[in-house]
Amino acid sequence: MSTQTDTSTTAVTLGDQPLTVEQVVAVARHHAPVSISDAAWGRVRESRAIIDGLAEDTVAHYGVSTGFGALATTHIPTEKRTRLQRSLVRSHAAGSGPEVEEEVVRALMLLRIQTLATGRTGIREQTLRLYLALLGERITPVVHEYGSLGCSGDLAPLSHCALVLMGEGVVRDATGTKGESAAALAAAGLAPVQLEEKEGLALINGTDGMLGMLCLAVHDLRRLLVTADVAAAMSVEGLLGTDDVFAADLQALRPHPGQSAAAQNMRKVISGSPIRDSHRDPEACTRVQDAYSLRCSPQVHGGARDTLDHAARVAGWELAAAIDNPVVTLDGRVESNGNFHGAPVAYVLDFLAVVLADVASMSERRTDRFLDAKRSNGLPPFLASDPGTDSGLMIAQYTAAGIVSELKRLAAPASADSIPSSAMQEDHVSMGWAAARKLRRGVDGLTRVLGIELLTAARGVRLRAPLEPAPATAAVIAAIDAAGEATDEAGATAPGPDRFLAPDIEGAVTAVTEGTVVSAAETVTGRLE
């Protein structure tokens, strides 16, 4: 579950195997190149031939010769069908609010391209080639925060992308400059397309936005949960807690795999700590049990890990899906279906919001213990150099507490809500896009809470001098000191008079975000799981 092999520059080929979470991240975040296999192009042409064969059929076919949603019973004559597709995209590009992040839009585009490349949607080859070119040229459609109900796909976000294929709408180019899509296409030597039968639906009917955000969250949370183990171990060490409760035989009595992995990580980080060795004598150390936020860290972190593993499995299943309505089946039928409903993805997005809120809550409690002289086992109040004159890290805990409070609010499930739409034709929706958006905010919040715990634990450990910390702890402290904008030559974690604290916090957050906390620990421990 720790740092993964770097695949950020590895080319991704669509059409032969489902995408992985790592490939989605590589394309979305690191702009890895993308291509489509020859076999996939063959399937695209075959399915398009099936759609073309239905164009003159006297039997109505949804999205080919009918309207959409509640208007599905309206027959559309041949001469109006290009207008039908154009009108679909224009009317559904109804997003509002702030722009969505580039990496989210790129993930959404990649996943829609992957589905189109399955040959199950009836897209034309030239339309798909243009979509692929947009991704390669880093022409990123402007997609907005609001607009998707997570059923019938992420309609508005995907429509803003489809609009660009028509030479309409707004984009950002590779430099981040915002402008009209027609100009961006022309600058890249690309020509817009005129959509034909079924193509509008094929472009907008999928769970790609919520799935893309799930993939990004799974990737980030894998790193963050290992970071949480490192932070918890450092807190146990700095608060003169015991690692005896992390013993493998005790963990085996409750055989949850995530719990076992978390406890193993914590044992590795504390291993060889002179601070820990200083209070092993049961006659000198009268404390029988540590507080839950220390003693039960493997149980909470482990439950989060197991939930994350479930979410990753769901992401894997969805990455293997071909979602459209209607869909071209393997035997050539064109059938309506409900596979666009985002419930399976929405549920795990909400599950993850719950567990990250709880991991952050436990982290903040460990931070608070360091700052309370009645519970910190001999450390000065708020880890201040001159308590009273100095406030130490008092307000860092406020920051963490404020974030945790918000994370608890964000843990309320979006998927439990549903507002009917399309004249009651679409009478149950998943709200998966909303679940994904709040999870992204939650991932950022957990990152910051862990950064504050690490900063606090590092200072607490340093205040145990002349006792030395565990080698892994020392490596992490050095990494935090080297990160960001520490304003003291001694480093962000060094005890001393009060100084401008925000840069020290941001330095610790950067060390978490960039993975340097885990990497530093692993230089001593070896791979953390």
Catalytic residues, by residue number, are: 62
Interhelix angle 155-165/125-136, rounded to 10 degrees, is 100
Q: What is the DSSP string of 47-115?
A: HHHHHHHHTT-SS--TTTTB--GGGTT-B--GGGHHHHHHHHHHHH---EEEEPPHHHHHHHHHHHHHH
Tokens of 476: 């992490």
Q: Are 466 and 523 in contact (CB under 8 A)?
A: no
Measure the N-to-C terminal CA separation of the chain; round to a whole number of Å: 5
Output the CA torsion sign for 206, 212, 217, 219: positive
- Rounded distance, CA 142 to CA 157, Å? 9
Q: Are 342 and 136 in contact (CB under 8 A)?
A: no
- Rounded distance, CA 72 to CA 336, Å? 11
In the three-class reduction of DSSP (H, G, I as helix; E, B as strand; rest coil), residue 335 is classed as strand
By the 10 Å C-beta count (0-12 exposed, 13-18 middle, 19+ buried), 34 is classed as: buried
Q: Are 164 and 443 in contact (CB under 8 A)?
A: no
H-helix or E-strand containing 46?
Answer: helix 38-54
Tokens of 61: 């076919």
Q: SS3 string of 446-468?
A: HHHHHHHHHHHHHHHHHCCCCCC
Kindly state the DSSP code that residue 152 receives in the 8-state scheme: S
Cβ neighbours of residue 346 closer than 8 Å, sequence gap 6 or more:
150, 210, 414, 415, 430, 431, 432, 435
Kindly state the DSSP code that residue 327 receives in the 8-state scheme: E
